[in-house]
Amino acid sequence: MSDVEEVITRVHREEWARVVATLTRRFGDLDIAEEAAAEAFATAVERWPGDGVPPNPGAWLTTTANRKAIDRIRRENKRDDKHKEAQTVYADDPPEPVGAIDDDRLRLIFTCCHPALAMESRLALTLRMVGGLTVPEIARAFLVAEPALGQRITRAKAKIKAARVPYRVPSGEDLPARVSGVLAVLYLVFNEGYLATGAGTDPVRHDLTAEAIRLTRLIRALLPEDGEVAGLLALMLLIEARRTARVSASGELVALDEQDRGAWDTALIAEGHQLVRQRLAAAAAGVAPGRYQILAAINAVHTSASDIRETEWSQVLALYDQLVRLDPSPIIALNRAIAVAELDGPEVALAAVDRLGDELSGYHAYHATRADLLRRLGRSQESRAAYGKAIELAGNTAETAYLTRRRDQQG
CATH 1.10.1740 in the chain, residues?
Answer: 1-93
Which pLDDT score, from 0 to 100, does residue 207 have?
A: 74
Give 44's contacts (C-beta < 8 A, 6+ positions apart): 8, 11, 57, 60, 61, 64
β-partners of residue 357 are none
The neighbour count for residue 274, using CB atoms within 10 Å, is 14
Q: With 60 as the cut, is the pLDDT of residue 341 above it?
A: yes
Distances in whole angstroms, Cα of residue 211 to Cα of each of 15, 17, 26, 310, 392? 11, 10, 23, 33, 30
C-alpha torsion 278→279→284→286, nearest 10: 130
d(CA 221, CA 100): 9
Distances in whole angstroms, Cα of residue 152 to Cα of each of 119, 121, 126, 142, 368? 11, 6, 12, 12, 31
CA–centroid distance for 251 within its chain: 22
Q: Considering only 119-128, 193-202, 373-382, which range has the smallest mean pLDDT? A: 193-202
Average pLDDT over residues 272-276: 97
Q: What is the pTM of this model?
A: 0.76
Distances in whole angstroms, Cα of residue 353 to Cα of each of 195, 203, 380? 21, 26, 17
Confidence band of 78 (pLDDT split at 50, 70, 90):
low
Contact (Cβ atoms closer than 8 angstroms) between residue 204 and residue 193: yes
Average of per-residue pLDDT values in the chain: 87
d(CA 177, CA 277): 25
* Highest-pLDDT range among 54-63, 81-90, 231-240: 231-240
Average pLDDT over residues 216-230: 88
CATH 1.25.40.10 in the chain, residues?
Answer: 323-411
User: Tens digits of per-residue pLDDT, 96-150?
Assistant: 443 344 578 888 888 998 888 888 898 889 888 988 888 888 887 666 899 999 9
Domain covering 1-93, topology: Rna Polymerase Sigma Factor; Chain: A (1.10.1740)
Confidence band of 40 (pLDDT split at 50, 70, 90):
very high
Query: In terms of CATH, what superfamily is 323-411?
Result: Tetratricopeptide repeat domain (1.25.40.10)
Higher pLDDT, 30 or 197: 30
Contact (Cβ atoms closer than 8 angstroms) between residue 252 and residue 227: no
